[in-house]
Amino acid sequence: MRYSQFREHAHIMRKLTYAIFDLKGSKAVIYEPINAQSALETPPVRHWERAVLGAAWHLIRLPVLTLLVILEPIVTLLCGGLALLGVLTTILFVVIHAPHFPAWTMLSVSLGWMLALVFYEGLIRVLSD
């Protein structure tokens, strides 16, 4: 960002976010200018819209999370088992010097199974927040 743009943004932000503190007891109340929303040119998200979006997010998130958590032992066993089996098979065939054995392909597929498991667990972590 160039200096002139920075100064312009700083001037706009100073204009929009100045605050007058009205001390009532131990609580400070912040007053913002009336025309701040028109200067930003974006409509504010109302509290009820945020509540509706939050409720919709929970209605989608919770059933998906429940299904993922129920299937987690099966997916972990399947993906982890296939990854381990692929690595052990690759080691075995490399040790016995099997001709035309695609060792790097097998290791890549095993890594793919482990990455799928990591992605699955990450998805559970994201949805559980």
Residue pointed to by tokens 């597929």: 109
Nearest to 112 by CA among 92, 73, 82, 89: 82
> For residue 29, what are the β-bridge partners?
22
- Give the per-residue pLDDT at 18: 43
Residue pointed to by tokens 């490399």: 94
| Other residues' Cβ atoms within 10 Å of the Cβ of residue 120 | 16
Tens-digit pLDDT profile for the chain (129 aa)?
565 555 565 555 555 444 444 444 445 555 555 555 455 555 566 777 888 888 898 899 999 999 999 999 999 999 999 999 999 999 999 999 999 999 999 999 999 999 999 999 999 999 997
Residue pointed to by tokens 């100064």: 7
| Amino acid code (one letter) for 80 | G
Q: Do 86 and 107 contact (CB within 8 A), yes or no?
A: yes
Q: What pTM value is reported for the model?
A: 0.60
